[in-house]
Structure 1
Amino acid sequence: MAIRIIVKDPDPVLREQAAQVTKFNSNLHKLLKDMADTMYDAEGVGLAAPQVGISKRVIVLDAGDDNGLIEMVNPEIVERDGEQTGPEGCLSIPNLNGDVRRYQRIKVNGFDRNGKPFTMEATDYLARIFQHEIDHLNGVLFTDIAESIYDVSAKPRGRGE
C-alpha cells in the first residue's frame, strides 16, 4: 500500500490542463493503485491524478455503491442531462465545502488501466463525483463554481468547551 501526498490549493498543478495518457503500462497501473490507496486512506470518494502532483488525465472513484472502485483514464463526458445542486468537499481544499450545481445524469467515455475503451452512465451522487474529478483534470476546483462556500472545520461548541 503506497499512500501519496495529496497536494493542496494553491499548488499550481491543480490549475493545469492535465495531459492525455498515451502509455498504458506498469507505471500507470502503479499510479492507479497508489491513487486508490490514497483516496481510501483519506476517506475520500474520488481522486484525480493532479491531486497527487501528476498532471495526467487519470481518476479513481468509489461512491460506496455496487460499482465499487472505478478507475478511468482519459475520461470525457459525452452526454449530460438534468440538474442537481448539492454539497461538495475536496481532499485538496480541507475544511471547506460548497453547494455546487452539476448535471443529474452523465455518460462518460474513457479507458481502463489496459487501454480498453469503456463507457459508464452515472446519475445522482456518482455523476457528481465524476464531474468533480473531471473538473480537476481541467484545472477547475469546486470553489470556482460553487454557489456558496462554507467552513466545516469549526465544531459546534457544547457546554464546558
Structure 2
Amino acid sequence: MTGAVRTVVRAPAEVLGTPSEPVDPTAPEILQLAEDLVATMRVSPGCVGLAAPQVGVGAQVFAVDVTGHPKARTVHGQLVLCNARIVEASQWQKGREGCMSVPDLTGDVKRANRLVVAGFAPGGTEEIEITTDAFEARALQHEIDHCAGLLFLDRVAGAHAVYARKVYLE
C-alpha cells in the first residue's frame, strides 16, 4: 500500500474544531489513512506531524517524525498512532509552535516536556507506550490536540502570545 498526498485543510474548517472518533487500527481504511498522512507529511517542508483532521478526516490517527530536527532530543523516528492518549505529563515548558492548518501564525504554548503516550500502531491490536521528551513530546501533544478538536491557538495564553509566521527568503 502506498500513500496518497492529501490536501491539508486550514482553519476555520469545521473538522479542525470537532473531536475525532476513535478508530479500529486494523481497518483497511485506517491503514490507508495512515499511509496518506505519512505521504502528505513527507512532501510538506518542515512538517514534523500531521493528524487526520488536518486532511479532513475526523479520525483519531496521526503521524509524527522529528528525525533531524534541531530541537529534538529523544527521537523514535516515524510514529503513526491511533486512539492515542496521554498517560503521564510533567515538566511543563512554554515553546513556539506552528501548524500547517494555521499557516500564517505561530504561538507560545505551554506543554509537558516529559511525556508518556499510549496508543495503537496501524494494524496493531496491542496498545503500545512511548516515553519521550522535549520536541518530540511537544509534537505528540500537538497532534493529540488535533484529534481532540483543538488547535495550538486554543492553548496560547492570549493574543500577546500569537505571532505572524516569519518567512525566510532564500
TM-score (norm 1): 0.91
- In the alignment, the residues of structure 2 paired with residue 68 and residue 104 of structure 1 have an alpha-carbon distance, to the nearest angstrom, of 18
Which one of the candidate residues 5, 20, 38 is aligned to 1:3? 5
Unaligned runs of 5+ in 1: 157-161
**CA shift for structure 1 position 29:** 1.2
- For the pair 1:100 / 2:113, whether they are aligned, the reply is no
SS of match in other structure, 1:30: helix
* Mapping 1:2-81, distance limit 5 Å: 2-22=4-24, 24-43=26-45, 44-64=47-67, 66-81=75-90
**CA shift for structure 1 position 94:** 0.5
- In the alignment, the residues of structure 2 paired with residue 5 and residue 78 of structure 1 have an alpha-carbon distance, to the nearest angstrom, of 31
Q: In structure 2, what is the equivalent of residue 131 of structure 1?
A: 141
* Mapping 1:84-123, distance limit 5 Å: 84-115=93-124, 116-123=126-133
Q: Work out whether residues 25 and 121 of structure 2, in 8 Å CA contact, stay in contact via their aligned partners in 1.
A: no
Residues 134, 92 of structure 1: CA spacing in aligned structure 2 closer, same or farther, 3 A cutoff? same
Instruction: Indicate the percent of aligned positions where both proteins have the same amino acid.
Output: 37
- In the alignment, the residues of structure 2 paired with residue 83 and residue 39 of structure 1 have an alpha-carbon distance, to the nearest angstrom, of 27
Q: In structure 2, what is the equivalent of residue 149 of structure 1?
A: 162
- In the alignment, the residues of structure 2 paired with residue 3 and residue 154 of structure 1 have an alpha-carbon distance, to the nearest angstrom, of 24
RMSD, aligned α-carbons? 1.5
Superposed structure 1 runs of 4+ greater than 4 Å apart:
153-156
SS of match in other structure, 2:108: strand
> How many correspondences in the alignment?
156
SS of match in other structure, 2:86: strand
- In the alignment, the residues of structure 2 paired with residue 28 and residue 59 of structure 1 have an alpha-carbon distance, to the nearest angstrom, of 11
Unaligned runs of 5+ in 2: 69-74
- In the alignment, the residues of structure 1 paired with residue 34 and residue 117 of structure 2 have an alpha-carbon distance, to the nearest angstrom, of 18
Q: Which amino acid aligns with 1:82?
A: Q
